[in-house]
Structure 1
């Protein structure tokens, strides 16, 4: 009997011991409630111990690594409003250009990084890029002009390109559909925590302005780069690659067997050789184009909230410290909503209704910003906070890709890379026209365009749900996998 067949009967034999994995059998109500609260509580002691161990190693690494990456992304905006603009004589659309150069590097690195992970172990590839990234971020503090910043932002984006798609692929290698949504959203929430922390960090570093001849905004990049180095070193030990080829010393042999059996039970295939035929299959699949479309509008929509502090600064109603601190309310709310999306989507076993639900408050916020005048401060504040709340849907979209493409690891890895690359290709130039900072605080078309992006996301979500039902991805044996919600 295969591992998958054993799992469907409710047990699997590992090293002569029968382990209940409770994958296919419908558990009693008490266990279903425990599974919704935390998905390992209804499992056998052996599987609970296994999940706790991979949570400890994998989740700690991915969350801290992404926290630091997003801290850097937010630091650019916070540094801009905290002295960098004046010290380096930035003007007009320079803030957007800094993001654009980062995006160009990020775009160029996405697909190659994902393909490299088919040849080089993630446990080597990802931490090495992390270390290199940390040193370049520290170099931002030494920049003397905006041209140097442009060059550094390009290479930082190139190195950072591996993080989001690589980590999401890693999570998909180890967690079942009932577990993946929570981990993906916890991972996504680390970005909101980073953005929230960055505001407090910059406000605190204002007190260090001028110490040792270093400005407060420079301390921000030094701090970020320094904490990235030990995280990279930790990654060499924490990343377990994939179950069928893991060399992680912290996993016992029977736990590796359990990991393989768990993935077989949910139809998630291990990585095989990426052939020309498989590549053509990927490039001709509806999954590639529809998930590209939804992730593009998602990324362009959530871009709006990153201009909250620019709006605050341009109104000249708040101090520099307040400009850094006020947006943290949005990031705190974002964390709560992102985690709620995880529990709800895993609880109901569907992704698409929660993605739609996440779009509604952000769409409402954009409508408020479009309708209410700038002098109505309470309305504008409410509108801005609501724009933060859709971000967690991004993790669910990538989770959905993992589940819709369970039958082919190559589809999962390549599509995630292409989806990210295409989304950030659009982010590299669309904000220059849609969210032109030279016109802050008005953004003549920005609020309306953001509303349109969230509206399109809702429509595309419904289309993907219908396509997944009608044309699920087939495995190499040409039998359709179960469509995923």
Structure 2
């Protein structure tokens, strides 16, 4: 069977146009239900096997790799409330500065990494950075002062910059619109799982406080960077988590269908991958000419999504202070301060997966993104009122702020679909959008979420509510612009 004949165009919006299943022979109700539950169940046996194979290789790599990276990000906050603040004499806004230095590195690495992937295969570039990243994370456990932490956080952020945009670009190379939302959000959910695990891990490691002269918060970074081999010594050259992940990445990452050298893909499967992307109008990587670059820099897609994603990133920052509030109440033990926020991350994980299934089922991203902003706004309003004596209300407010996070994956997914006609637009815009958003995150929280004034920020909760509301409004504007000014393949071809 020709691979193209086994494909059907999904009922979805692609690059400003709506592609309906009605254009093809109508599928039975059972097939449509199966497509909502899991998108490969309604496909031909050949395509179903193909999707299952790329799911196995791609999703396992991206989820494990991002789980470990996000574990590191969460560990900073958990280590802060578990003894690092006192041991290294962190004061005032030092917690924010740790994030700021990481963010600066993350910003500087975003766009170069995306551009490098136009020349160097992701299967080489991403795992290589993973190796270097793992060794630096280990070094945090040996830090003797906050200045050392600042330096390490900068370089960790620089190496980590490739992960999110690079992985989202990789997913867009292989999955159709009916599949991409689920995979993107499953990938995003791995960060929530990491945040949950970090809390449980730190609570468990409190029992090892002082063992072998290592504080509980130091064990957190050691376990993030290495595994313990026995109890007589720590092996610094074995068990590095990043090493097996990186080695796996060299084999698992298939680059893009038109240039894949993955040994686990057969020639017919590579052809099917190409045909699937052609069916939804998603173009492979071509030359990034000066004309095309200028077109990208002037496009409404770039400017609008920079604003949307920046509002999203600045808004979700608020929930990272949940454990700071818990500690300030002096109601709970250190272990409980680490464990209680896992409820928020659990809610985040479930809501992220719900967004994926809903958006794929209705064939649209924008309504789900707007809907995700609503509970977060309500949570911020509750915290703005600050019913300090009403613990259930405070808990509800904090948990609600976690629920918008999954919309971030849908924002990037929407960029991939709106820019299907040009791989260069997708790659460059995702890189710039991430860089701009985190540029603002590097300094805005220092003023509105000043940890010296935590947990009751003078304007922090009101500003977070404003960011979520602004995100929702801008998404509606982007929807209108995409209808009126879609990115067309013919216009892109003229820029070659």
Per the normalisation by structure 2, the TM-score is: 0.92
1:252 and 2:271 matched: no
Query: Secondary structure of 1:243's partner?
Result: coil
CA shift for structure 1 position 59: 0.2
Distance 1:414-1:120 versus aligned 2 partners, 3 A rule: same
Supply the distance in 2 between the matched residues of 1:393 and 1:53 (Cα, whole angstroms): 27
What is the aligned partner in structure 2 of residue 13 from structure 1?
A: none
What is the aligned partner in structure 1 of residue 395 from structure 2?
A: 381
1:218 and 2:218 matched: yes
1:167 and 2:170 matched: no
CA shift for structure 1 position 372: 3.4
Distance 1:23-1:205 versus aligned 2 partners, 3 A rule: farther
Supply the distance in 2 between the matched residues of 1:120 and 1:438 (Cα, whole angstroms): 44
CA shift for structure 1 position 6: 8.4
What is the aligned partner in structure 1 of residue 299 from structure 2?
A: 285
What is the aligned partner in structure 1 of residue 289 from structure 2?
A: 275
1:367 and 2:376 matched: no
What is the aligned partner in structure 1 of residue 109 from structure 2?
A: 109
What is the aligned partner in structure 1 of residue 336 from structure 2?
A: 322
Does the CA contact (< 8 Å) of 1:362 and 1:454 recur in 2?
Answer: yes
What is the aligned partner in structure 2 of residue 155 from structure 1?
A: 155
Query: Secondary structure of 2:90's partner?
Result: coil
What is the aligned partner in structure 1 of residue 347 from structure 2?
A: 333
Does the CA contact (< 8 Å) of 2:4 and 2:272 recur in 1?
Answer: no
Supply the distance in 1 between the matched residues of 2:180 and 2:372 (Cα, whole angstroms): 18
1:7-29 deviation per Cα after TM superposition (whole angstroms, max 9, x unaligned): 5699xxxxxxxxxx999544221
1:286-313 deviation per Cα after TM superposition (whole angstroms, max 9, x unaligned): 0000000000000000000001001111
Distance 1:6-1:79 versus aligned 2 partners, 3 A rule: closer
CA shift for structure 1 position 478: 6.1
Which among 406, 426, 437 is matched to residue 420 of structure 2? Answer: 406
Distance 1:51-1:471 versus aligned 2 partners, 3 A rule: same
Output the aligned Cα RMSD.
Answer: 1.8
The aligned runs of 1:194-233 (5 Å cut-off) are 194-226=194-226, 227-233=241-247
Supply the distance in 1 between the matched residues of 2:297 and 2:9 (Cα, whole angstroms): 37
1:465 and 2:479 matched: yes
The aligned runs of 1:23-34 (5 Å cut-off) are 24-34=24-34
Which among 424, 449, 464 is matched to residue 463 of structure 2? Answer: 449
Distance 1:259-1:24 versus aligned 2 partners, 3 A rule: farther
Query: Secondary structure of 2:287's partner?
Result: coil
What is the aligned partner in structure 1 of residue 130 from structure 2?
A: 130
What is the aligned partner in structure 2 of residue 57 from structure 1?
A: 57
Supply the distance in 1 between the matched residues of 2:180 and 2:426 (Cα, whole angstroms): 14
Query: Secondary structure of 1:131's partner?
Result: helix
Supply the distance in 1 between the matched residues of 2:101 and 2:9 (Cα, whole angstroms): 53
Query: Secondary structure of 1:270's partner?
Result: coil
CA shift for structure 1 position 187: 0.3
Does the CA contact (< 8 Å) of 1:315 and 1:441 recur in 2?
Answer: no
Does the CA contact (< 8 Å) of 2:372 and 2:403 recur in 1?
Answer: yes
Query: Secondary structure of 1:224's partner?
Result: helix
What is the aligned partner in structure 1 of residue 230 from structure 2?
A: none
What is the aligned partner in structure 1 of residue 15 from structure 2?
A: none
Give the number of the structure with larger relative contact order, counting CA–CA contacts within 8 Å between residues 6 or more apart: 2
Supply the distance in 1 between the matched residues of 2:304 and 2:218 (Cα, whole angstroms): 41
Per the normalisation by structure 1, the TM-score is: 0.94
What is the aligned partner in structure 2 of residue 14 from structure 1?
A: none
Supply the distance in 2 between the matched residues of 1:478 and 1:134 (Cα, whole angstroms): 40
Distance 1:478-1:127 versus aligned 2 partners, 3 A rule: closer
- Which segments of 5 or more consecutive residues in structure 1 lack a partner in the other structure? 11-20, 481-485
Aligned residues: 469
Distance 1:275-1:5 versus aligned 2 partners, 3 A rule: farther
Supply the distance in 2 between the matched residues of 1:94 and 1:341 (Cα, whole angstroms): 35
Distance 1:237-1:470 versus aligned 2 partners, 3 A rule: same
Supply the distance in 2 between the matched residues of 1:387 and 1:293 (Cα, whole angstroms): 20
The aligned runs of 1:302-313 (5 Å cut-off) are 302-313=316-327
What is the aligned partner in structure 2 of residue 415 from structure 1?
A: 429
**Larger mean Cα displacement after TM superposition, 112-121 or 213-222:** 213-222
Query: Secondary structure of 1:464's partner?
Result: helix
Query: Secondary structure of 2:479's partner?
Result: helix
Query: Secondary structure of 2:258's partner?
Result: helix
- Which segments of 5 or more consecutive residues in structure 2 lack a partner in the other structure? 11-20, 227-240
Supply the distance in 2 between the matched residues of 1:359 and 1:327 (Cα, whole angstroms): 20
